[in-house]
Amino acid sequence: MMRRILSQAQVESESKMNCSKKTNQSNLHQRRLRAGSSGYMPGLDGLRALAVFAVIAYHLNLSWAPGGLLGVSLFFVLSGYLITNILLKQWEHSGAIDLKDFWLRRARRLLPALFLMLAGVMSWMMLGAPERLTALKQEALAAVFYTSNWYLIFHQVSYFESFGPPSPLGHLWSLAVEEQFYLFWPLLLGWGLHCFRQRKWLIGATTAVALTSAAAMALLYIPGHDPSRVYYGTDTRAFALLAGAVLAMVWPSSKMNPDLSGKKRLALDGVGSLGLLVVLLMIGKTSQYQTSLYQGGLLLFSVAGACLVAVLAHPASYLGRFFGWGPLRWLGGCSYGIYLWHYPVIILTSPVVNTEGFNLSRTLWQIALSIILAVLSRYLIEDPIRYGRRKPVRRRRPLAHGAKIMMGMVLMFLLVFVMPNEGRQTSAKAIAQSYETAEQTQTQAQAQNQELDKEDSAAKGKLTGTDQQSGLKGDDITVIGDSVMINVEPVFQERLPGIVIDAQLGRQMYQAPDAIARLREEGKLGKIVIIQLGTNGSFSEKQLQETLESLQGSAKILLVNTRVPKPWEGEVNETLRLAAQSYPKTRLIDWHSASSGHKDYFYADGVHLTQVGVEAYGEMMVEALLSD
């Protein structure tokens, strides 16, 4: 009997132990699920890789990714989501936001790689282009204090500087926008959490601010004008960051349930696939000069990006598993360094005057070099400062990490701001002005030669305003152009005396209708009109249409496309090509093709013409007129 009682008690005890063990295992499993749902999200690293390579494709001027600049907006949405997610976790656990800890973590994450890149670029410029150091130091200073975007806005470059060598630090504006967000958003979020007891009011207020930011972009943008103010402004780009912030408030990672039914999982991945489709289509079909981009397009892209982020962050998403693929995730982990290095590499290793077109081998090694530099930066500089050499769970020797950061800052300061550079004060403006001086000298010499040959020209009948080979009269022709046409004017005047050339420095297409109206009032608008514009910036189809409609009554209209080493070149030439095909009495003169492979046609800015280029351009134009 005693044995039976003991046996029964033993069974009951073992049963209780097994139940307790199962309960503990279940609790442990739930804790692990919760930890996994609120911790590292590998799919987001894959999205970082997509974003950074979209930006690289844009900076390489790859024709299949004209909207690659939208990769920056993906980074903004990601940053808004992840930072807000971190801050909300702090608030839920402690009832406060530790600003000091947050800002120090951001500094350890961002500053070492930035200082290394700046030091590398400044060293390269000191050896390879010392005349540009003075101008570059100002940009480096703005980068150190994360004000590059406002530096670009308030230091609007002149016409000549815009055709100087591009800055290898021009991409740092986006990091400035993000860092400004990191500085002010924790303060605003903490204030909002204190003031709004119910989360829905905070969500509503954040959404309202985001929509106000998008509205400011739409209102400040003027089609056909330089979009830099709305493109670089923190106020006009904040909506992308706030879209991610709203997502973190509505659906934080801690509320993402990994156990979803089949239908819910399919619906989740369906939303993510739709967001991914919108993202890829806009990267492949839009450009920075498209009016709709600033009038709601970027907001739409940010919403699609937020939907994609939500799905990739979810532990039950199949799409998240795809983006969490090892190599893609690794590239995403290096994306910050790749972003820092890719633009200087591209700018400093690409020819300013490139008349040969796309070079595949150069593109591949530029991408490879960017990745290599980013990897070296990550494993030799960033990770040791951020985690310690062995990434310990508990921080070790925080003073040592702080000393490394401070030493790096001191070295960067000495290199960038104290390094002597006497006798090297030449800026991009001075370089561009040297081109202008050369052009003026060239024009003056041509004018003198014309005066010497005046009597011979009269004897040959050229001063009657008629080209003797074709009977084409110069006073029947009017040319409306920019600085390129100023260079070519002597050739026209020699071949077609009496031709009216209205060329102005820095002129853009939106100014053409006013010039045409003035010429018509003055009786100087000929039967044949040549439009040579697009060197100084893009224009919309509507603006070109307004120009063409103002020329009603003209017998012929000739549109000249452009060769300019700027992102708008392809946009301008495509718009002109389509107009020439669809608008009556209009023909395209293809200077871009005629100058292909002729580096000798251009000065070092890749735009303004040497004597050889002037003669080739003028001859092309005269032949086009004679062939009609």
CATH of the domain at 496: 3.40.50.1110
| Residue 393 DSSP SS3 | coil
pLDDT given for residue 411 in this prediction? 57
Query: Residue 373 corresponds to which tokens in the numbers above?
Result: 């530099």
Q: How far apart are CA 175 and CA 412, in angstroms?
A: 18
Listed as own residue / partner, the contacts of 233-238 with beta carbons closer than 8 Å and 24 or more positions apart are 233/149, 233/150, 233/153, 234/149, 234/150, 234/176, 234/177, 234/180, 234/181, 237/76, 237/177, 237/213, 238/181, 238/209, 238/210, 238/213
The one catalytic residue in 269, 467, 482, 605 is 605
Q: How far apart are CA 146 and CA 150, in angstroms?
A: 9
Residue 143 within a domain: yes
Rg of the chain on CA atoms, in Å: 31
pLDDT given for residue 172 in this prediction? 96
Whether residues 187 and 259 fall in one domain: yes
Whether residues 374 and 481 fall in one domain: no
Residue 211 within a domain: yes
Choose one of 420, 452, 476: the last residue of a domain: 420
Whether residue 162 lies in the annotated active site: no
Residue 114 within a domain: yes
Average pLDDT by stretches of 10, the chain with 628 residues: 46 50 45 47 96 96 92 97 95 91 94 94 88 86 94 69 77 96 96 90 96 97 86 96 97 87 91 97 92 95 97 94 95 97 95 82 96 96 80 48 54 53 42 47 46 43 47 83 91 88 91 94 93 90 93 91 88 93 93 92 87 93 83
475 touches 499 (CB < 8 A): yes
Q: Say how far residue 531 (Cα) sits from the centre of its chain.
A: 29
pLDDT given for residue 377 in this prediction? 95
Residue 126 within a domain: yes
Whether residues 147 and 294 fall in one domain: yes
Q: How many domains does the chain have?
A: 2
Whether residues 382 and 466 fall in one domain: no
Question: In 3D, which of 329, 625, 323 has the Cα closest to residue 479?
Answer: 625
Whether residue 483 lies in the annotated active site: yes
Choose one of 396, 420, 444: the last residue of a domain: 420
Measured CA to CA in angstroms, residue 536 lies from 161, 371, 517, 617 at distances of 12, 33, 21, 18
Whether residues 380 and 486 fall in one domain: no
Residue 432 within a domain: no
pLDDT given for residue 63 in this prediction? 85
| pTM (two decimals) | 0.81
Residue 445 within a domain: no
The one catalytic residue in 59, 171, 314, 608 is 608
Choose one of 420, 454, 487: the last residue of a domain: 420
What is the dihedral angle through the alpha carbons of 140, 145, 146, 149, rounded to the nearest 10 degrees?
Answer: -60
Residue 65 within a domain: yes
Whether residue 598 lies in the annotated active site: no
The one catalytic residue in 483, 538, 550, 595 is 483
Which range of residues forms the domain containing residue 258? 43-420
Residue 286 within a domain: yes
Whether residues 361 and 505 fall in one domain: no
